[in-house]
Amino acid sequence: MDKFEISVEQQKFEVEIKSPLINASGKIEVLVNGKPIFVKLPGRELHFEDWHFIEVDSQSFELDIDPELRWIKSIDGLHRIELSKPGESVARPASGDGRIKAPIPGLITKVFVEPGQAVNEGDSILILEAMKMENVMSAPKAGVVGAINVSAGKTVSLGDVLVYIE
């Protein structure tokens, strides 16, 4: 069975899934840092976005799993997760590839940078106006500004790539 490395809030775990996801008993054995944990899924469907409760070691948890697997919300708050195969770099944090995408549709009202400009993580890149507020979008990582696809006055749709940080 496949192995993964998972971080939950900076803590790293080595996880190995020992049972097929769909099996007769409905329970899945998972080794987390060598410790066996038994998980019972709420159904036989693999639509994890719809799993709103799950039984782990006989305890039920209500939760909400991000379709992009960046986080899991449980009864004690929001847990950021990062997944990778051992030895590979982190699989898919939202911003790892340096593309700043529009998270909501809106209007670009100002761009603070130019192509070729060096930026640090957190520097203001542009302002996206939506839901009656001005939202400053910042650099997800340090780097050099590459292509800028927008300018002030441009309307953008959800998911449009606005700026590349290389």
Partner 1 sequence: MFKKVLVANRGVIAVRIIRTLRDLEIPSLAVYEESDYGSLHVLLSDESAQLPEAQHYTSEKQIIKIALKHGADAIHPGYGFMAESSRFAEACHAANLTFLGPPAKALAACSSKLEIMEQAEGFGMKVLPHSQKSFAPKCLAEISASAQKLGYPLHVKASAGSGMRASRLINGPAELEAGVEIASREAQITFEGEQVYLEKWLTKSRTIQLQFLIDKSGKMIVLGTVDVTMNKHNRRFLCEAPAPGIELAPELISSCEKLLKQIGYIGLGAFEFLLDQDGNYFFMELQARIQNEHSAIELLTRLDLVREQIKIIAGLPCTSEVKPTNGVTMQCRIYAEDLLRQSLPSPGVLRRFRLPGGPNVRVDAFAYGGCVIPERFDPLLSTIACWGETRHDCLVRMRRALRDTAITGVKTNQARIQVLLQEGDFADGKYNHDTMLLPHKLSFSDKFDDKLAAIAAIAFCAKIQRSGLHKPERLSGGWHASSRSFND
Shortest approach of partner 1 to residue 138 CB, angstroms? 7
Smallest gap from Cβ 165 to partner 1, in A, equals: 15
Task: Decide: helix, strand or coil at residue 50.
Answer: helix
Distance (Å, whole) CA 130 – CA 52: 30
Pair type for strands 27-32 and 35-40 = antiparallel
Nearest residue (CB) to partner 1, 4 versus 164? 4
The residue among 163, 127, 161 whose CA lies nearest residue 143 is 163
Nearer of residues 130 and 161 to partner 1, judged by Cβ: 130
Q: Check residue 116 and give left, alpha or beta (phi > 0: left; psi -120 to 50: alpha).
A: left
Taking residue 92's Cβ as centre, other Cβ atoms within 10 Å add up to 13
Asked whether the beta carbons of 65 and 78 are under 8 A apart, the reply is no
Burial class from Cβ neighbours inside 10 Å (0-12, 13-18, 19+) for residue 62 reads: exposed
Nearer to partner 1, 81 or 161 (CB): 81
Compare residues 77 and 116 and give the one whose CB is closer to partner 1.
Answer: 77
Minimum CB separation of residue 145 from partner 1 in Å reads 17
Identify which of residues 91 and 144 has a Cβ nearer to partner 1 in the complex: 91
Q: How far is the CB of 22 from partner 1 (least distance, A)?
A: 4
Minimum CB distance to partner 1, residue 19 (Å): 9
